[in-house]
Amino acid sequence: MSYAGKRVWITGASSGIGAGLARAFGAQGATVILSGRNREALAEVAAAVPNHMVLPFEATDQEVLPRVVDHAGPVDFLINNAGISQRGLFEDTVMEVYRTIMEVDFFAPVHLTKLVLPQMLARGSGHIAVTASVAGKVGSPQRTGYCAAKHAVMGFFDALRTEVGGRGIRVTTIVPGFVKTEIGARALTSDGSRKGSAKGDDVDAGISPDEAAAQVLAGIAAGAREIRVGGGTPEMGLLDLKRNDPDALLDLMGQMGSAVVQKFKDQAAA
Ligand SMILES: NC(=O)c1ccc[n+]([C@@H]2O[C@H](COP(=O)([O-])OP(=O)(O)OC[C@H]3O[C@@H](n4cnc5c(N)ncnc54)[C@H](OP(=O)(O)O)[C@@H]3O)[C@@H](O)[C@H]2O)c1
């Protein structure tokens, strides 16, 4: 599928899945608008994208957003991909972590979509996507806030589709399993600090960002409203288990949670 002449805006394009998407859309001829906060990393990714604009901004800065949207100009695609994750038990986690995760993973994509959608509705065409997660469908330990935010974006964008789908606007939810990116290392721990290292993190065993991006573009080309992104990795099987045997899924996740809690207790006792 050629995206020649199309303008694709990707948030979280400085790293991981967003960088993979920027390269993939760029290779298909799109003009890619790359957003994130890290200007150096954005410039590095942009160097591999023939037609691009670098547009750095802090996703949670509500005041700056209207100016950023003006600067981006009309876009054919908006991919709300920026996000942060969490690693820590609820009982240990300060409330600030929950507020930060909801701001970045839920309110930021909702706000950006609110500002970009009117031009799409006026044209009667456009495509809005969000990178949700398997965590947007399955509750898992150490990610209470992340799962909440990702369930929220799944619900929001599925509901938005019901309102705009009949008016020429496509809405796509992207549901990745583990992708080997910086998300684990940058995840917020219970005191709000970054985890700092992805060593031993689940995502370390994931597929590459370029493979994830290829699956997303294939899903878009196939007209999918929900794109599942994964390898033959076990976490993708959780989605099938949820549909086929939801009680078994809850049992399995409970066992996983108990094992995690025990590990924390053992570490504290050591
Ligand atoms: N990796 C996985 O296994 C996995 C699985 C399911 C879903 N996801 C989702 O995929 C998306 C991309 O994550 P990733 O795995 O590629 O992680 P990543 O490598 O850590 O990239 C995250 C991106 O989000 C941007 N970002 C974070 N906070 C921001 C903020 N406050 N303002 C602006 N930009 C911000 C970062 O840009 P700067 O650092 O430049 O600010 C970076 O480009 C996220 O929504 C994540 O939840 C990932």
* pLDDT band for position 200 (cuts 50, 70, 90): confident
Span 16-21, average pLDDT: 98
3-state secondary structure 147-162: HHHHHHHHHHHHHHHH
Q: State percent of the chain over pLDDT 70.
A: 100
Q: How many CB atoms lie within 10 A of CB 47?
A: 9
Q: Which residues pair with 113 in a beta bridge?
A: none
- Just list the catalytic residues: 146
Mean pLDDT of 197-218: 91
Question: Can you spell out the DSSP letters for 200-251?
Answer: T-GGGGSB-HHHHHHHHHHHHHTT-SEEEE--S-HHHHHHHHHHH-HHHHHH
What domains, with CATH codes, occur in the chain? 7-234 (3.40.50.720)
* Nearest atom within ligand 1 for CA of residue 38: 40
Residue 198 has pLDDT above 80, yes or no: no
Q: What is the pLDDT of residues 238-265, one digit of tens each?
A: 999 999 999 999 999 999 999 999 998 9
pLDDT tens, residue by residue, 31-71? 999 999 999 999 999 999 999 999 999 999 999 999 999 99
Question: What distance in Å separates the CA atoms of residue 227 and residue 11, rounded to the nearest whole number?
Answer: 18
Which residues contact residue 196 at a Cβ distance below 8 angstroms, ignoring those fewer than 6 apart? 185
**Residue 164 burial (CB count, 10 A):** 17
Ligand 1: which residues within 6 Å by Cβ? 12, 14-18, 36-38, 41, 58-60, 81-85, 104, 131, 133, 176, 178-179, 181-183, 186, 203, 206
pLDDT value of position 233:
80
Q: In a 3-state reduction of DSSP, which class is residue 183?
A: coil
Would the pLDDT of 268 be above 90? Answer: no
Rounded to the nearest whole angstrom, what is the distance from the C-alpha of residue 270 to the centroid of ligand 1? 33
